[in-house]
C-alpha cells in the first residue's frame, strides 16, 4: 500500500499540473471506485470544478475545489495515478481530463481504491490521527498517544486513528532505527525510547519522501518513474538477509496479522 511518503510524492508531482485547472471530462470505468454518488452523478458534479490546491492527509489525496467541495482519493493496496498515459491498461478505473489538456488515470489492479466528492474533508478523513511531520506532532503528543494503549508498538504506529500515514514497511524501518522490538507494548516505552522514536519517525519519513517513495510492489510515480526509498531499507522486506549493523539474520513476526521485520539482536524483546 502506498504510505505517507508515496502519497506525498504523488501530491508534489501532480500539484503543478492540476492547480488552477478545471475538470473537463470525468470517466468512471469501474463503479466500485465511487463511494459518494452514482456513476452518472459523479462526473456531472465534478466537471467544470476548478482545483484550488492539492493536499495530503495521511494516505489520502485531497483536491480542494473552488466550490469548497473536495475530491478525495485513496489508492489502497495497488492504486496508482498516471499522468498522461499513452494507453489505458486493463486496470484503469477512472480518468480525469483537465482544462490544460492533461489527463490523470486512476489504475488499480486489485480494485480496492476509492474516490469521494464530499462537502468537506472531515466527512472522509476526520477520524485520522495527527500528521507525523507536522509541527503539532510534538514529543508530548506522541507520549500521550502511546501511554493510552496497551498494544504492540508496531500496531500503534500503523493505526491511522492514532498517527496518520505510517504503514507497515515504514513502521518496521522506524522501529529498527529506534532499536525497539515491534511487540513491545506502546505504553511500556521509556521516555528516552519515546524521544528516540519521535525523532526516527520524522527522519525515516522525510528520507523516504526525498527518495520519492518506495517502489517495492506496484507503486510508481505519476509519470512512470520508480521511487528509490526501498534501496535504503534495513529490515522491511529483508527477511533472511543479514542485519547491516550486526550481521544477525532479519526475522519476521506477525503483529495483529501484519508481517513485521526486525533484527532480534538490535531490537531485543525484554
Rounded (10°) CA dihedral 156, 63, 204, 219: 100
173: annotated active-site residue: no
In sequence order, what are the beta bridge partners of 72?
A: 62, 116
Q: SS3 sequence, the chain?
A: CCCHHHHHHHHHHHHHHHCCCEEEEEEECCHHHECCCCCCHHHHHHCCCEEEEEEEECCEEEEEECCCCEEEEECCCCEEEEECCCCCCCCEEEEEEECCCCEEEEEECCCCCEEEEECCCHHHHCCCCCCCCCCCCCHHHHHHHHHCCCCEHHHHHHCCCCCCCCCHHHHHHHHHHHCCCCCCEHHHCCHHHHHHHHHHHHHHHHHHHHCCCECCCCCCCCCCCCCEHHHHCCCCCCCCCECCCCCCECEEEEECCEEEEECCCCCCCC
Would you state the cell numbers that stand for residue 148, as one nine-digit string?
493510552
In sequence order, what are the beta bridge partners of 32?
A: none
40: annotated active-site residue: no
147: annotated active-site residue: no
- Active-site residue (options: 11, 57, 59, 234): 59
Phi, psi of 242, rounded to the nearest 5 degrees = -90, 135
- Active-site residue (options: 3, 6, 8, 173): 3
Would you state the cell numbers that stand for residue 233, as one nine-digit string?
531499507
- Active-site residue (options: 185, 199, 252, 258): 258
End-to-end Cα spacing for the chain: 31
3: annotated active-site residue: yes
Catalytic residue set: 2-3, 59, 258
Amino acid at each position: 500500500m502506498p504510505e505517507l511518503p508515496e502519497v506525498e510524492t504523488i501530491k508534489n508531482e501532480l500539484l503543478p499540473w492540476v492547480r488552477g485547472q478545471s475538470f473537463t471530462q470525468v470517466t468512471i470505468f469501474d463503479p466500485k471506485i465511487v463511494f459518494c454518488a452514482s456513476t452518472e452523478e459523479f462526473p456531472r458534479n465534478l466537471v467544470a470544478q476548478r482545483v484550488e490546491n492539492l493536499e495530503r492527509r495521511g494516505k489520502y489525496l485531497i483536491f480542494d475545489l473552488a466550490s469548497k467541495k473536495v475530491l478525495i482519493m485513496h489508492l489502497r493496496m495497488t492504486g496508482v495515478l498516471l499522468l498522461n498515459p499513452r494507453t489505458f491498461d486493463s486496470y484503469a478505473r477512472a480518468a480525469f481530463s483537465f482544462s490544460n489538456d492533461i489527463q490523470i488515470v486512476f489504475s488499480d489492479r486489485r480494485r480496492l481504491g476509492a474516490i469521494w466528492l464530499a462537502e468537506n474533508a472531515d466527512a472522509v478523513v476526520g477520524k485520522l490521527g495527527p500528521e507525523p511531520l507536522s509541527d503539532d506532532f510534538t514529543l508530548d503528543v506522541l507520549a500521550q498517544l502511546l501511554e493510552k494503549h496497551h498494544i504492540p508498538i508496531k500496531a500503534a504506529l500503523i493505526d491511522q486513528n492514532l498517527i496518520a500515514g505510517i504503514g507497515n514497511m515504514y513502521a518496521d524501518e522506524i522501529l529498527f532505527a529506534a532499536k525497539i522490538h515491534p511487540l513491545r507494548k506502546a505504553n511500556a516505552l521509556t521516555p528516552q525510547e519515546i524521544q528516540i522514536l519521535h525523532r526516527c519517525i520524522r527522519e525515516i519519513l522525510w528520507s523516504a519522501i526525498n527518495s520519492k517513495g518506495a517502489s517495492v510492489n506496484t507503486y510508481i510515480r505519476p509519470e512512470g518513474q520508480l521511487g528509490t526509498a526501498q534501496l535504503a531499507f534495513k529490515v522491511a522486506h529483508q527477511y533472511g538477509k543479514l542485519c547491516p549493523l550486526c550481521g544477525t539474520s532479519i526475522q519476521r513476526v506477525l503483529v495483529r496479522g501484519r508481517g513485521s521485520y526486525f533484527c532480534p539482536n538490535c531490537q531485543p524483546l525484554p
